[in-house]
Amino acid sequence: MSKYYLSYLEELESEAIFVLREVWAQFQNPVILFSGGKDSIVVTHLAKKAFYPSKIPFALMHVDTGHNFPETIEFRDRLIKDLGAQLIVGSVQESIDQGRVAEEKGKSATRNALQITTLLDAIESNKIDCAIGGGRRDEEKARAKERFFSHRDDFGQWDPKNQRPELWNLFNGKYFEGEHFRVFPISNWTEMDVWNYILQEKIEIPSLYLAHEREVVWRNNSWIPNSEFLRLDEREEVVTKKIRFRTLGDITITGGIESEADTLEKIVQEVSAMRQTERGNRSDDKRSENAMEDRKKLGYF
């Protein structure tokens, strides 16, 4: 530290901590949107640092599609206990049972789009005015346009053509009743930065990210995990492979990659040699060129 400038990871960390503290100062009832994926884990880790020695002053909110990896839920519950934090769960199954949304039909049906209603309902019923997320601008071209403080209207919608300009480090979090904000403290991080940081900080992550033996099915150019929610057609075959996941979403849509990377060091090495973006294995993004943008406009995370 004698050099009087920060390394890029230190600078990104400092920026994220600044943003998290700004959320705490400007909003009444913020939550961290926690999916159990590496990005929301990193955001939670940063929040721990931002408020140390105080506890994280935010509740964690999980939008539970019901189609989870069991490992994700175990990890979530353990982390919540360690942090002594409050967990809010928005359940897609409940939204379906209440008739708020209808299950998609067809072979490639997922509950991905259904999350939007559950998320917005949970935001409304818990009077949340700011949902902090692990979104990164490098993930997807529509996300490259996101602000740190991203305004959502009364319907939870994002209007990419009418975003508040963000200047210097002055974040405008003002809103009218019914509106809310999405805040992305790690906007400027790339997938590589996240992995380097996890390695540097020795942050615990779900075992799903590490290579392990698993039953999978080859579909849409990736290995989809076998689960009770998966409907196979006659040509599809369940095999056991050593795989790991680059991103974690619903068990029905998250594609694994064949890998021998069973330690963080090996993952960092593997990711730095990757020639595909991490969302290349998410079938929800492959539905159309504008899939992410369209979902975000409706209120998707």
Partner 1 sequence: MEIERNELLRFSTAGSVDDGKSTLIGRLLYDSKSIFEDQLEAIENTSRKKGHDGVDLALFTDGLRDEREQGITIDVAYRYFTTPKRKFIIADTPGHVQYTRNMVTGASTANATIILVDARHGVIEQTKRHAFIASLLHIPHVIVCINKMDLVGFSEDVFHKIVNQFEEFAAKLLIRDIRFIPISALLGDNVVNRSDNMTWYQAAPLLHTLETMHISSDLNKVDARFPVQTVLRPQRDGFIDYRGYAGRIASGFYRKGDKVTVLPSGFSSKVKSITGPNGELEEAFAPMSIAIELEDDIDVSRGDMIVRSNNVPDSSQDIEVMLCWLNNRPAQPRAKYTLMHTSNEQKAMIREVMYKYDINTMERIKDDKQLTMNDISKVKLRTTKPLLIDAYKDNRFSGSLILIDDQTNETVAAGMII
Residues that bind partner 1 (CB under 8 A): 1, 3-8, 10-15, 17-18, 21-22, 24-25, 49-55, 137-138, 141-142, 144-145, 160-161, 163-170, 172, 174-176, 187-188, 190, 192-193, 272, 274-277, 280, 289-290, 293
Taking the complex as a whole, the smallest distance from the CB of residue 111 to partner 1 amounts, in Å, to: 24
Taking the complex as a whole, the smallest distance from the CB of residue 168 to partner 1 amounts, in Å, to: 5
Give the integer Cα–Cα distance in Å for 220 and 268.
Answer: 25
Taking the complex as a whole, the smallest distance from the CB of residue 30 to partner 1 amounts, in Å, to: 12
Cα separation values, 94 from 62, 66, 102, Å: 14, 9, 11
What are 41's strand-pairing partners? Answer: none
Taking the complex as a whole, the smallest distance from the CB of residue 199 to partner 1 amounts, in Å, to: 12
Nearest to 15 by CA among 201, 185, 200, 167: 185
Give the integer Cα–Cα distance in Å for 213 and 42.
Answer: 26
> Closest CB to partner 1 among 172 and 226?
172
> Closest CB to partner 1 among 201 and 215?
201
Nearest to 193 by CA among 49, 43, 92, 51: 43
> Closest CB to partner 1 among 7 and 125?
7
Taking the complex as a whole, the smallest distance from the CB of residue 62 to partner 1 amounts, in Å, to: 26
Burial of 146: CB neighbours in 10 Å, binned 0-12, 13-18, 19+ = buried
Taking the complex as a whole, the smallest distance from the CB of residue 136 to partner 1 amounts, in Å, to: 9
> Closest CB to partner 1 among 122 and 253?
253
> Closest CB to partner 1 among 18 and 229?
18
The DSSP-derived string for 24-87 is: HHH-SSEEEE--SSHHHHHHHHHHHHHHTTSPP-SEEEEEE-S---HHHHHHHHHHHHHHT--E
> Closest CB to partner 1 among 29 and 290?
290
